[in-house]
Amino acid sequence: MPERTIFEKIIDKEIPSEAVFEDDSVYAFRDINPQAPVHVLVVPKTRFTGFADLKSADAQVIGTFMQRVARVAEQLGLEKEGYRIVFNHGRHGQQSVDYIHAHILGGRQLGWPPG
């Protein structure tokens, strides 16, 4: 078993976080170092180390995860003006926690391309 990451400890409430949404499949909470007025992380309760793990993941689990990400974005009031979903993967992607997480970023005009 890989070592537990900070996100497993957050899901298990061993480390406090500001919850936005939770059900049986996902936990959504505010990023501790927000990069936009709204910056929320959504993690599935099933661990995947990173985006590449989705290649062999159960399609229903992936679909539920994506559906929850969209629902959380709606709940945050971001649908009208828009938002960005980011999955950082690996070193070049600057992934810093080895537990898959969707960043929901919004609440301001975002730039493109990303740095």
- Catalytic site positions: 101
**Among 14, 104, 17, 115, CA closest to 65:** 104
> In the chain, count of helices (H) and strands (E)?
2, 5
Site for ligand 5GP in 24-43 (CB under 6 A): 29-33, 41
Site for ligand 5GP in 46-85 (CB under 6 A): none
DSSP state of 18: -
3-state SS assignment for residue 102? strand
Question: Alpha-carbon distance 21 to 71, whole Å?
Answer: 9
Q: Does 106 bind ligand 5GP (CB under 6 A)?
A: no
Query: Taking contact as CB under 6 A, which single stretch among the options 20-28, 66-74, 76-84, 95-103 is the one that binds ligand 5GP?
Result: 95-103
Q: Which of 88, 100, 105, 106 touches ligand 5GP (CB under 6 A)?
A: 88
Q: What residue ranges bind ligand 5GP (CB under 6 A)?
A: 6, 15, 17, 29-33, 41, 88, 94-97
